[in-house]
Amino acid sequence: MFEGFDLEMIELPEATLRVRHGGSGPPVLLLHGHPRTHVTWHRVAPLLARTHTVVCPDLRGFGQSSKPADTPDHSGSSKRAKARDCVALMERLGFGRFAIVGHDRGAYTAFRAAMDHPASVSHLAILDGVPILEALERCDARFATAWWHWFFFAQPEKPERAILADPDAWYGGSAEQMGAQAYEDYRAAIHDPATVHAMIEDYRAGLGIDCKHDEADRRNGRRITCPTLVLWSLRDDLEMLYGNVLDVWRPWTVHCEGRGIESGHHMAEEAPETLVAELLAFLK
């Protein structure tokens, strides 16, 4: 995996991240979702690296990156804190301005980076997500049935106990679907109690401090100013929940485009060529 890429632990002001980076050209930062690590991009990153410098970290709390300290407001797991990591990481690698692509929970960090650091983010790509505030305000029985885990993960202690009782049964996945090495890396993450706790803290922050940050943005009329691409999986549930997903994003962006692609939720693993084609056309 990741032939020609470097793998290192990079110490930043607030966290130490495991980072894979390679290629040359305009920089692109790829952010994974839950419960994956940066290795989820192993079929995408080499294709992008033909024309771009590609940076793939484990987000703070995930994979082998450092875990934030617990606080009552979960601020160490907030998307604002993780966005600061992203900007600091890219500056450490020599990039003051970069494109950012986020999938699933990584999409919330990508959104926050573009919102909080507009001078640093040239392009924003969102994969399978809508703003947290929009998801919660639109919550109905369909959402609660499909995304029940948001509310279960908000509970203290019980989610970690349930997951760690049998992580493989809880999360699923297979070497056939993900690739043998990627599956091994993923299993190491989901069997680590500290990582599982930090991943759940990401959800606890989502229902609290992250939502407050979104509310403040909307109240103050702040929007994403860089070009924004939104892609969603046609075999996942965003269209079922929201109809035209772009309509959800338009109030948050100045320029927004996108479409559904033929894939399940983990599009970087299931439809890498289609995803890369969409990203390259957008970044051009």
| Residue 104 bears catalytic tag | yes
For residues 208 and 151, give the distance between their C-alpha atoms in angstroms, rounded to a whole number.
12
Name the catalytic one among 34, 117, 191, 265.
265
**How many C-beta neighbours within 10 Å does residue 273 have?**
10
Q: Which one of 85, 104, 202, 217 is the catalytic residue? A: 104
How far apart are the C-alpha atoms of 168 and 82, rounded to whole Å? 27
Distance, C-alpha 260 to centroid of its chain: 18
Q: What are phi and psi of 74, to 5 degrees?
A: 60, 25
Cα 264–chain centre separation: 16
- Token pair 């797991």 is at which residue? 77
CA distance 267 to 260: 11
* Neighbouring-strand partners of residue 233: 261
Short-list 114, 124, 93, CA closest to 11: 93
User: Hey, which residues are catalytic here?
Assistant: 104, 265
